[in-house]
Amino acid sequence: MLINNKKQVLILTIVLLGLVACNDDKNSTTTPAVESKPLELNILHINDHHSHLDEETIKFKMNVGTGDEEFSVASGGFARVATLINQLATEKKNALKIHAGDAMTGDLYYNLSDGKADADAMNTVCFDTFTPGNHEFDAKDDGLKKFIGFLDQSPCKEKTKILSANVTFGASSPLYKTNRIQKSQVFEKDGVKFAIIGLTVAKKTKNSSQPNADTLFTGEIETAQKEIDQYKAQGIKNIILQTHVGYDLDQQLAKSLTDVDVIIGGDSHTLLGPNSLKKYGMTPEGAYPTQLKNKDGQSVCVVQAWQYSYIVGDLKVQFDKNGNIESCSGTPHVLIGNNFTRTAKDAKTVTETEKQIILNQFKTDQVPFTVVEPLQKTLDVLKPYSEQKKKFAQEIVGQATDNLCSRRVPGMQRDVNRSTLGDVCNKNTHVDQHGGDIQQIIAEAFLQQGKTFFGADISFQNGGGVREDVGLGDVTVGKIYNVLPFKNTLVRLDMTGTEVKATLEDAIDGVIAQNNTGSYPYTGGLRWNVDFTKDKGQRLNQIQIRNALGQYENLDLSKTYKVITIDFLANGGDYYATLKTITGDRRLNVGLDYAEAFLKYTQGITGQMGQKKINKLATSEYSTQMFIDKAK
């Protein structure tokens, strides 16, 4: 049909143009413009609170006019975390509330509620984002799904965004294709879009926790760069990584990636802050924030907030209009109360004047102690859980006759700042030479239980499976379960001496090659010398086993020994690969909870509660007799 009417032609042209415009809008691959302008963000963050919801105490020495004295004050507690984050979020421009993982496992709150107490406490903060840590997978993928379900029972206006770019859930996982966990999230403040990308530590989670077998974790650096590149292609220039991979890998990420600006970290329980903290028994491993250069030569700000609800990180970031860091600064607020007391017996009450002297000295020393009142709402939420915990935990089962220090690896190169008892353990010469006292005692406890059940010769325990020191004094049921908070049971393995030696080499290689400090082995009935400067297979010598007379003799590589360990290690966790090969008739589930085994040990032969004296073992009984370290 010919169209020769000008009006008809004009109308048809307009219609066709409209159709083209609609089609372009629907299928366009053109990236919408992102406005280029400066941006200020104030990031409030915690990590690794590990079910530590109650306040604790810290001690310090100070002269308030009558000579040096020791004082104590309440510290930490999730109710203080909630108070400060909520307060700062209202005071600061463009606030973000971030939790960088390992909310669960480490206190009876977890054992009694499977993480619900943690989720309920977190929902009094209403975190914007949360990245699952390795311990969120301790009860398999179902445990993580349950925890997210608890978080989602929230009074918050919006659900917390769960972010991890490098986890892929297999078909066996209850999280398969649920899309509840996203790789990343775009936020907008002051008209400027920015992206937060989550990362969960890959090898450690797969080998040191219990994700479903078909749940996979990709490499952190490659995954992060892929996500960053996608956002760069969209014109989003401000990039934040929210990681649970550890301070060392965070620094590698910062240096290896292009276009990364900020890293909010967790996993390694790293204390960052001023050197003034050393005066008060705390040893920071770096500055807060740690400032590095990315692969482009642009600034990257890296932070972490220690552990156990002790600190709220408070980071101010200024981006320029091109999405680069113009400046970053902040404070790792060490949370304390105002209830100062003298620790000396029958000492006089601290006066208001003396309190002010203490607070003024903190300011003079420029130590980031921040006095915070606990949030009543959080205390109210936790009250039923707290009452349940107290009832279960209060029974005394023994007395520690000395401070029993926790240390994963001997030496002074790795994991030397984790002790909750401070420098009394972190700078303990015996611990540096021979490793953790409490790890060694627990290995001995497992051996004794194994002897009771089947005449065990050797026990294996990984250093990272022991979560806390045991301070001088009463030891309660609650403390036992805090020290051993996981849901492990004991397993019997029949192993040759060659397999025993190979297992030790596996575990030590996990420390050196994989930088997994939790792998370091502690055993009952076995001792050795170790040299980290040697190659795998050559690191151990003078491996000796304790015989029935309590004397030590060389390990017989051809002999079969009865070994007791936890199911986690028996299944190859924490790089104990050789143990996983012990199958069939050579493997038997003892059926005893590992914390219960330690509890029975503390109760002693008579089983009378409170009668067992828990002593440090003689140095000759420590697994590591001589330790030669090398720099990381």
- 498-534 pLDDT, tens digit per residue, is 999 999 999 999 999 999 999 999 999 999 999 999 9
- 404-458 pLDDT, tens digit per residue, is 999 999 998 888 888 889 889 999 999 999 999 999 999 999 999 899 888 999 9
What's the chain's length in residues? 632
Please tell us whether the domain made up of 39-381 is placed in CATH 3.40.710.10.
no
Average pLDDT, the chain: 91
Which strands form 540-546's sheet, in the order they lie side by side?
552-554, 540-546, 526-531, 624-628
Determine how many CB atoms are found less than 10 A away from the CB of residue 362.
19
Q: Which of 177-186, 385-394, 604-613 has the lowest mean pLDDT?
A: 604-613
- 270-322 pLDDT, tens digit per residue, is 999 999 999 999 999 999 999 999 999 999 999 999 999 999 999 999 999 99
Q: What is the mean pLDDT of residues 531-543?
A: 95
- 252-271 pLDDT, tens digit per residue, is 999 999 999 999 999 989 99
Q: What is the mean pLDDT of residues 594-602?
A: 87
Question: Domain 394-628 sits in which CATH superfamily?
Answer: 5'-Nucleotidase, C-terminal domain (3.90.780.10)
First to last CA, the chain: 82
Determine how many CB atoms are found less than 10 A away from the CB of residue 361.
16
- Which residue bears the tokens 């996608």? 230
Q: What is the mean pLDDT of residues 458-484?
A: 94
Query: What percentage of the chain has pLDDT greater than the value 90?
Result: 80
User: How far apart, in Å, are the Cα atoms of 242 and each of 119, 152, 333?
Assistant: 19, 20, 19
The pTM for the full model equals 0.77
Q: Between 594-603 and 437-454, two packed helices, what is the crossing angle to 10 degrees?
A: 90
Q: Taking the domains of the chain in order of start, what are their residue ranges? A: 39-381, 394-628
pLDDT for res 602: 86
Instruction: Provide the pLDDT confidence category of residue 34 given band limits of 50, 70 and 90.
Output: low
pLDDT greater than 80 at residue 591:
no
Q: Where do runs of H (alpha helix) occur along 513-630?
A: 567-570, 577-580, 594-603
